[in-house]
Amino acid sequence: MAHKCAASGFAVLEHRLIMAEHIGRCLEPWEVVHHIDGNNCNNDLSNLLLLPHRAMHSAYTLLQVELRKLEARVTLLEAENALLQRQLESAGYGNPELSGGDNVTS
């Protein structure tokens, strides 16, 4: 897909073209268009983020990876907490201030 931003006559990648049209100028060669969801086929503008250089792109990508790991860990911990709470309640233990019931101790 050729575009006026391709001064050398080479094709411009679709995500770069979409971003260039959105900001109203040609992208500099060092600027990077990042796919937020990691899907390089999803070139919807809401999925694109313009970053000023490759180092920023690398840092942003690493941050995203770590954030996804943390989100997965939080989800796992929430599931484990819910399971433990059900096990305690079925065994007759609980916190009346949290559950609104009577605290049974053995």
CA-wise closest residue to 37 among 67, 17, 14, 11? 67
Question: 95: which 2 tokens?
Answer: 């916190």
- State the residue for tokens 């990508």: 61
Q: Is 55 exposed, middle or buried (0-12, 13-18, 19+ CB in 10 A)?
A: exposed
pTM for the predicted model, two decimal places = 0.61
Give pLDDT tens digits for 4-43. 555 556 677 999 999 999 999 999 999 999 999 989 999 9
CA distances from 12 to 17, 26, 56, 58, 62 (A): 6, 10, 21, 22, 26
Q: What percent of the chain has pLDDT over 90?
A: 66
